[in-house]
Amino acid sequence: MIYESIKMVFKVFKTNKLRTFLTMLGIIIGIFSITIIFAISTATQHSLTSQLSFLDDTSKIKVSITGSFDEETGTNIINIPSSEIFALEKDENIKKVDELVTYSYKEVDEMRQKEAEESSGMWWNSYQCQAITYSALDMSETSQLSLIEGRNFSQMDDINRLPFCVISTEIANKMLRKSNDVIGNTLKINNIDFEVIGVYSAKDTYYESVVYVLNSYAKYHFGQDIIPQQKYYQIEPISPDLKDTVTETVNNKLLEYLNSNEFFMEQDFSSYEDQLSSVFGIIELVFGGIAGLSILVGGIGIMNIMLVSVNERIKEIGIRMALGANSGNIKLQFLIEGIMLTILSGVIGMLIAMGVVYGVNQFISNSEFSESGFVLAINMVTTAKTIGFCGVIGIIFGIYPANKAAKLNPVDALRYE
């Protein structure tokens, strides 16, 4: 019965091709828009959160300590010894403490720099020299850095306090003007030679002008010239659920030594992520609502055309009733017509959307934006839901015309011309 009804519906569509297409257009456009909106929204959201997560490792608590400014020396004095913060590792809830120290050292004058450049490679006079404990420099985890040449620090380097450094490609490029090989070359920082063991890429980020050295080395060899400018800690709880407890512990520890304005506990980005997704939720709701409205209008169009269809086919209904169709059969026939109209429209809209998504992705991957990580994707679950929604629209707007057809009296329907 259902098979014959579907076959019949296709015959009806075939005899009224243009009318059927125009009726379906509203739903096609609606479904197309909804699909595209969700694809864009999820793609944008995804690429934004993935950018955020570069900066973010939500499992850790991040503290930066600037200390208090000392007018006499013109530098920051950090009152809390690193050992005190490392002592937190003994807390049962804390797994690991990592430290990153930024040193400032006295600026060298132009003359000395030039002299040094001529004599022995390069004099690096940036303020941005960060000393790091071995374990903190897991580059891929904490930042947007990725090692492209050489190697990272090892634990042995840290224990042996070796004068090694890891630099950015930007600094490496400057060095290359002097020599062909960056790895193994030396970089002078505060008159101390550091051997380059690794190069990372960090184009257009803060890290491109940073030189990493080992904290163990810097502490003992920079001497008086170099003063910690800022200390940055990452404290990792045993489990993510303990984050709040550990934050509390760390906060209390810091307050023993410092005023609250001398340190800054970084908010993690997960709250931004939440905000972001709620913003996108609103955007989806608004645009989805507009597209949904178009589906509603399309649905009304379908109801309208179905009523016309019922009227045109009164005679047919009469004949079918004479041949043994009951009103349930007639109702089913027209309901199937309504559902097929909407589901077919939904599928067509979806296919067009898929085509567009494929085209856009193809275009992006061939263009300069290919690295943006912006990829449109159609979620199959959403697709299934949307098609299901179309079916529901078909039932809602098909039920009235179907009932109207089913209620006809066979004699009257047969007499109808």
Partner 1 sequence: MIKLKNIQKKYVLSKQNSVIALNNVSLEIQQGEFVAIIGKSGSGKTTLLNTIACLDKQIKGEYFLDNILINKKKQKQLAKIRNKYFGFVFQNFNLLQKLTAYENIEVPLIYKKVPRRNRKKLIEEYAEKVGIKERLSHKPNELSGGQQQRIAIARALVTNPQIIIADEPTGALDEATGIQIMNILKELNKEGKTVIVVTHDIDIANQARRKITVSDGKIISDVKVGER
Q: Identify the bridge partners of residue 403 per DSSP, sorted by sequence position.
A: none
Cβ pair 26, 303 in contact under 8 A = no
Q: In terms of Cα–Cα distance, which of 91, 102, 98 is closest to 61?
A: 98
Q: Toward partner 1, which CB reaches closer, 323 or 381?
A: 323
Q: Which residues contact 337 (CB under 8 A, 6 or more apart)?
A: 9, 12, 306, 309, 398
Distance CA 344, CA 13 (A): 11
- Site for partner 1 contains 332 (CB under 8 A): no
Q: How far is the CB of 417 from partner 1 (least distance, A)?
A: 9
Residue 225 touching partner 1 (CB under 8 A): no
In whole angstroms, give the CA distance from residue 293 to residue 382.
18
6 touching partner 1, by CB under 8 A? no
By CB under 8 A, what part of segment 249-288 binds partner 1?
none
| AA letter at 267 | Q
- Per CB under 8 A, the list member of 327, 361, 382, 403 interacting with partner 1 is 327
3-state secondary structure of 210: coil
b/e map of 387-409 (b: 16 or more CB within 10 Å)?
bebbbebbeebbbebbebbbebe
How many amino acids of this chain bind partner 1 (CB under 8 A)? Answer: 25
- Nearest-approach distance from CB 398 to partner 1, in angstroms: 19
For position 319 contacting partner 1 by CB under 8 A, the verdict is: yes
Span from 9-17, 81-89, 157-165, 283-291 in contact with partner 1 (CB under 8 A): 9-17
Taking alpha carbons only, the member of 241, 263, 260 closest to residue 95 is 241
Quick check: 176 binds partner 1 (CB under 8 A)? no
* Cβ proximity to partner 1, 74 vs 324, nearer residue: 324
Check binding of 120 to partner 1 (CB under 8 A): no
Task: Give dist(CA 410, CA 311) in Å, integer.
Answer: 14
Binding to partner 1 by residue 308, rule CB under 8 A? Answer: no
Q: Which residues pair with 61 in a beta bridge?
A: 235
* Of the candidate residues 320, 346, 386, 389, the single one contacting partner 1 (CB under 8 A): 320
The only residue of 15, 83, 155, 180 in contact with partner 1, by rule CB under 8 A = 15
Chosen residue from 184, 223, 328, 359 binding partner 1 by CB under 8 A:
328
Identified binder of partner 1 from the candidate list 28, 226, 321, 344, rule CB under 8 A: 321
Q: Does 131 bind partner 1 (CB under 8 A)?
A: no
Residue 310 CB, shortest distance to partner 1, in Å, is 15
